[in-house]
Amino acid sequence: MSQVSQRSCLAGLALCAGVAALGGCDDSVRFRLRLEWQRQGPGLAQACPTMPDGAYSCHAIPVSCDLRVRVRILGATNGQPYYSECFTIQSDGDACQLADMPITPREIPNEMVRVQVIAWTVDELLRSGIDLSETDGCPVTTEFHINGLPRLGDDPTASPPGVPVPALAGESYFAVGESPVATVTLGCPRWDTLDAASCQASALALEATVRDPRTFGSVPRAQAPDMDVRFGAPVEDTPGVYRVDLSPQFFTAGLSPTPSGALLWTGVLDTPPGGTKCLRVGMQGVAAPTITCFPIASAASPIRVDGFLVGRLMLRDVLNLQLLSDVPEEGIVFGVVVDAAGQPVQGAMVSTVEGATVVYPDDNLQTVGFTSTSSKGYFLSTDAEYESLWRADAPGGLMSNGDARGGLVNDHVTVVVLQLNGVIPPPIDAALGGGDPDAGVDAP
């Protein structure tokens, strides 16, 4: 028997009428997951809510709390884990968002398996005190009754807390290779916690703009589908050495681009952010992983932040200036000085409180060695500490506003923007003065 006939491919998830089919399984027979809802009736527990007309639907379950969802497939007899993945669902809709989980294609042996889908609120995971540091963000503790409904374990109000109680969960047996659809019926033991008042009160909208550091204009909308934009903070590995960990406890899931109008990346934060946070932007093969950090002074919703994307062509010039072939492991800082109107500032001198080394390239990023910024306002550093406090002094006595933060993050280009507390007037063209007043010269 061939390899293809011995294995099938988990290739997506269907919810109601929605199908999220994914590729990547070569010629294996594909199957997808379908979620249904536990119904009310004699002897049926953990029933799910219904629409006003009595229909069972994902639309009947509002979600205002962030979720963690584990999808898991185990061998029915040997318990061998063939697939296990944890997803984060943002708190901005209803349970139909489960259909959007980007399941990674995976080949599964053609045998009887147990298919599990378990969803917890982030609040419940925190309440339980379970240690998720050695997992991918979701626990693996849920057990199921023979009818496929989850065992609820401890009283969810007990103290001290115990096993986290899922809001939604179900398990089904499925013979891989015999059907294109594996149906899992979800029980709804704590579906009410998905729309808890505490989540409604604390949820904060996040709106991010991603800009080109050469023009400060938004990146093109055509690039948006290929970009990964996240909000969070790097992790300190050793004293003074920081790296990006995209686990849910450090960074949000990828923010969503707006489908029309001004291009923004949006998401929902379940807790008010504080201290120094960052916007991390990636675009595989097209741009360098770029991170921009800033102090969060207010938790008023919506929280608006700006980030940047350094393209490969620009990155190549920046690296050539430093005689580098790639972004160094410890990272690099690229900065721009602008005035209060957002225009680049020439002649600014940049420093950090911590004493970082700063060099100034020319407008075309071809040479360094200048004593202040060129007309594009560029500067570079390869030794600025993470969370360095930056400042700039410019002609006319203008200074930066003191809010700029940023420094080295492993394998990333950190973009630092220093904004001055005033506007640099444009230079006056002497050729416009004198001459014939009736010559009809129009000043630009």
Distance from chain centroid for Cα 361? 32
- The span from the CA of 215 to the CA of 12, in Å, is 40
Q: How many CB atoms lie within 10 A of CB 192?
A: 12
DSSP code of residue 48? P
Single-letter residue type at 141:
T
pTM tops 0.75? no
Q: How many CB atoms lie within 10 A of CB 403?
A: 13
Residue intervals of the chain classified under CATH 2.60.40.1120 are 203-419
β-strand partners of 55: none
Note the CATH number of domain 203-419.
Answer: 2.60.40.1120
- The span from the CA of 350 to the CA of 415, in Å, is 14
Across 163-175, b (16+ Cβ under 10 Å) vs e yields: bbbbbbbbbbebe
What are the 10-residue block averages of pLDDT along the chain, 444 residues in total? 54 40 54 91 84 90 89 93 88 82 86 94 79 76 88 54 83 92 93 78 79 91 92 92 91 86 83 88 87 82 88 90 87 93 91 92 91 94 93 87 87 94 68 38 30
Q: Before 302, cis peptide (omega within 30)?
A: yes
Contact status, residue 139 vs residue 125, Cβ threshold 8 Å? yes
Residue-level length of the chain: 444
Residue that has been written with the tokens 């979600």 in this structure: 63
Tokens found for residue 124: 């419940």
Nearest to 171 by CA among 147, 152, 193: 147
Contact status, residue 132 vs residue 125, Cβ threshold 8 Å? yes
Phi, psi of 364 (to 5 degrees): -100, 10
438-to-53, 429, 432, 435 alpha-carbon distances in Å: 80, 18, 12, 9
The gap between the terminal CA atoms of the chain, to the nearest Å, is 78
Angle (nearest 5°) at CA 286 between 217 and 363: 50
Tokens found for residue 38: 């536990």
Tokens found for residue 79: 């318990």
Q: Which helix (H) or strand (E) holds 4?
A: helix 3-6
Residue that has been written with the tokens 């910024």 in this structure: 373
- The span from the CA of 100 to the CA of 122, in Å, is 18
Output the pLDDT for position 440: 33
Contact status, residue 14 vs residue 32, Cβ threshold 8 Å? yes
Contact status, residue 148 vs residue 170, Cβ threshold 8 Å? yes
Output the pLDDT for position 160: 44
Tokens found for residue 16: 């109601």
Contact status, residue 332 vs residue 386, Cβ threshold 8 Å? no
DSSP output for 120-169: EEHHHHHHHT---TTSSSS-----B-TTSPBP--S-TT-SS--SPPPSEE
DSSP code of residue 431? G
Nearest to 93 by CA among 59, 116, 70: 59
Q: How many CB atoms lie within 10 A of CB 420?
A: 23
13-to-108, 115, 156, 423, 441 alpha-carbon distances in Å: 15, 12, 30, 54, 68
Contact status, residue 154 vs residue 6, Cβ threshold 8 Å? no
